[in-house]
Structure 1
Amino acid sequence: MEARKYDFTMVTTKKKRYTFEEYEALERAEGVRYEYIDGEVFAMAGTTKRHNTIVLAFARALFPFAQKSGYAVFTESIKQKLRTGEKYVYPDVIYTCEPADLADDSETVVRSPSLLIEVVSESSLRTDSYNKRLEYFKIPSLQYYLLASQTAPVVEVYERSADFWKYTIYEGLDTTISLEKLGITISLAEVLN
């Protein structure tokens, strides 16, 4: 009896490429958030209650500073335009001081943030601490990038200096983060408790 031969060659399908306008229409039609990377769309994973609580706590802590200065805080559903290629992602929290970002309430995109915050989990740690960080550092207006842990009272802070990014770890609920360039102080107890 002759053995059968099978061809296990993988069949690949070409991914659909979207224009930015098609991408925004897709999000509106489906009610799903997608990150947009050079024409390809990637669905955003859902979050946990803990993640959402931390995001809201950061927004609440930042709001008085933004209101006093005429700036704005956005969370999770506003896109950040990256500098390289045609890329749009969803940081957890965006703080912007740029008048152009504040001019039109119907916009879905921020282009010139001063502060970006990601609340990291095991699954997002690599993307947020490496891939996104490298892209975020290319944004000229960005002064601070924060990575907040969901599982411990720890926040990593990257601060723009003249020729480099200064890195500091803040640990413990009795710790306060000072973002001097923006005139902001945040207690870890108010955002990670």
Structure 2
Amino acid sequence: MTAPARELMTIPEFLAWSERHEEARYELAAGEIVAMPREQPEQVTAKGKIWRAVAEALARAGAPCEAYVDGLGVAVDEHTVHAPDILVNCGDPITTEERLAPAPIVIVELLWPTSDPKDANVKREDYFRVASLAHYLVVDPARRAVLHYRRDAAATFRPETVTDGSIRLDPPGVDLALRDIFA
């Protein structure tokens, strides 16, 4: 005897559900709700520093974009929403009612010793399906390195490990200095 198939949760259903469960952070992965682990103080501090570096780089360049730390999701398909550590959204300002970034161009995830490599691989592949995404940065604070995936003209993401200097994010046309990320 076969168990009845469970219906996958859609993004609108997830967003409505998550409004009633704000005590923690959640993602929607292939129609299933996934609780995100509680962050340690050093993780929160690192995210704040990186967000500040990104926001200041955008301001210096006059880019028509905004940097966000937590709070906004990225829709991958109708059953998947990930919550990146930091994202840059370009175009019209996001209204206070919006829970999803409409045009994420840069996504930043931090790597920690407790990070699940399988989860990181799934998210990376999911993010690569987001049409507006031009850059995916995986920051490793322990190694003081950034794995920068850049979408090329053929829409393929090319990886480069950066350990000093700066990272060119074009679009939106900014340089992100590693000394600012790891300040």
Q: Fold conserved (TM > 0.5)?
A: yes
Query: Which of 138, 142, 156 is the matching residue for 2:147?
Result: 156
Corresponding letter in the other structure for 2:130: I
- How many Å apart are 1:95 and its aligned residue? 0.3
SS in 1 for 2:171: helix
Q: Comparing both chains, which one has the higher relative contact order based on Cα–Cα distances under 8 Å and sequence gaps of 6 or more?
A: 2
In structure 2, C-alpha distance between the alignment counterparts of 1:159 and 1:111, rounded to whole Å: 19
In structure 2, C-alpha distance between the alignment counterparts of 1:80 and 1:21, rounded to whole Å: 13
Structure 1, gaps ≥5 residues long? 1-11
Query: Which of 96, 111, 121 is the matching residue for 1:105?
Result: 96
RMSD of equivalent CA atoms: 2.4
Query: Which of 45, 55, 69 is the matching residue for 1:75?
Result: 69
For 1:165, the equivalent position in structure 2 comes to 157
The structure having more radius of gyration, on CA atoms, is 1
Is 1:33 aligned to 2:11, yes or no? no
Q: Contact 1:120–1:128 (CA<8 Å) still a contact in 2? A: no
> Aligned residues, how many?
177
Query: Which of 177, 183, 190 is the matching residue for 2:180?
Result: 190
Judged with a 3 Å threshold, the aligned counterparts in structure 2 of structure 1 residues 178 and 169 are, in CA distance, closer, same or farther, namely same
Q: Contact 1:98–1:113 (CA<8 Å) still a contact in 2? A: no
Corresponding letter in the other structure for 2:75: K
The Cα offsets for residues 23-48 of structure 1, whole Å up to 9 and x where unpaired, read as: 33432323221111243211110112
Structure 2, gaps ≥5 residues long? none
Is 1:23 aligned to 2:11, yes or no? no
Is 1:114 aligned to 2:105, yes or no? yes
SS in 2 for 1:190: helix
SS in 1 for 2:46: helix
Judged with a 3 Å threshold, the aligned counterparts in structure 2 of structure 1 residues 73 and 15 are, in CA distance, closer, same or farther, namely same
Q: From the two aligned structures, give the one with the greater helix fraction.
A: 1
Q: Contact 2:29–2:79 (CA<8 Å) still a contact in 1? A: yes
User: Percent identity among equivalent residues?
Assistant: 21
Is 1:86 aligned to 2:79, yes or no? yes
In structure 2, C-alpha distance between the alignment counterparts of 1:60 and 1:66, rounded to whole Å: 10
